[in-house]
Amino acid sequence: MDLERRRDQLHARVAELQWDLGGLVYEMAVRDRMRVDVLVKRAALLQDADAELEEIERIIHVEQTRTAGSCVSCGAPHSSGASYCWQCGQPVLQQVDTSTIFSSSASE
């Protein structure tokens, strides 16, 4: 299945889940019978569909623009695999403090 078709399906699914969740909350409020467990389950379905939609939209954007993101320092676009910004020279990959990695593995 191509990504654009899956994106369109997910847009419709997310809209439907939002509509249903809102209607469910309304019906529970009118009847003064709020069931948080039911709402949480429905919200989790919506969250999963929304997360998948967001990831597909990110992939489509990368394919269309050939960029993986933008520099947090100057905003210039960068491709996937870039280590440093071509415009300002700042690192585009998040730096990880290795001392926390080694200290947590030593305590195990």
Could you give the CA distance from residue 4 to residue 106 in angstroms, rounded to a whole number?
46
**Is the confidence at residue 8, as pLDDT, over 60?**
yes
* Contact (CB, 8 A) for 49 and 13: yes
**Total domain count, the chain:** 2
User: Are 61 and 72 part of one and the same domain?
Assistant: no
User: Are 72 and 58 part of one and the same domain?
Assistant: no
pLDDT tens across 49-92, in order? 999 999 888 888 877 877 777 888 888 887 777 888 888 988 88
The secondary structure of 25-66, three-state, reads HHHHHHCCCCCHHHHHHHHHHHHHHHHHHHHHHHHHHHHHHC
Domain span at residue 1 reads: 1-65
pLDDT tens across 37-52, in order? 999 999 999 999 999 9
User: Are 88 and 54 part of one and the same domain?
Assistant: no
User: Are 56 and 83 part of one and the same domain?
Assistant: no
DSSP 84: B
With CA atoms as reference, report the closest residue to 91 among 107, 73, 103.
73
Could you give the CA distance from residue 95 to residue 107 in angstroms, rounded to a whole number?
22
